[in-house]
Structure 1
Amino acid sequence: MKELERARWRCRRGLLELDIVLQRFMDQYYTQLDESGLEQFERLLALPDNDLWDLITARQVTTDDNLQQVLELLQKS
């Protein structure tokens, strides 16, 4: 449970739109992620807010196929 709370804290960002998407993702998908998915999510959270938002809104495309699974879930959120 401590890991879940830590992840929720890391989802607090500077963009309101990003906060909303990340909180929906946490509520709907986070607990269903396997180890690889959790790692992908952490890598996405390490991105600057604007870069992450651009990936979620498909203004920017990632060249890293490993991030695609979690990115698609974020786009559904």
Structure 2
Amino acid sequence: MFTTKRINRMKWACRRGMLELDVLLLPFLEQAFDELSDQQKETFERLLTCDDPDLFAWVMGHKQCDDPELAAMVDTIVSRVKV
């Protein structure tokens, strides 16, 4: 279950060292998180533990994530931004 405290921790984790990630992650959490399945929510939370250079490479399409769940979440985030 995603309590307010847990979501607030994720909001803090969305604040990254790279502006490019900041403008993707926090708006996604605020606007699309509630629409995700419980499994997708867990995956998003896990994605937030990844290093900035990896996240940046994945969202920019420079590199493919080896973890299929994380790769699918990155695709979800990127496709939402492109809409």
Q: Same fold (TM over 0.5)?
A: yes
Which of residues 9, 16, 19 in structure 2 aligns to 1:6? Answer: 9
Q: What is residue 57 of structure 1 aligned with on the other side?
A: 60
Give the structure-2-normalised TM-score.
0.79
Q: Percent identity?
A: 34
> Structure 2, unaligned stretches of length 5 or more?
none
Q: Distance in 2 between matches of 1:73 and 1:50?
A: 19
Aligned residues: 77
Q: How far did 1:2 drift?
A: 2.2
Contact 1:29 1:73 in 2 (8 A): no
> Structure 1, unaligned stretches of length 5 or more?
none
Q: Which runs of 4+ in 1 moved over 3 A?
A: none
Structural RMSD (CA): 1.4
Give the structure-1-normalised TM-score.
0.84
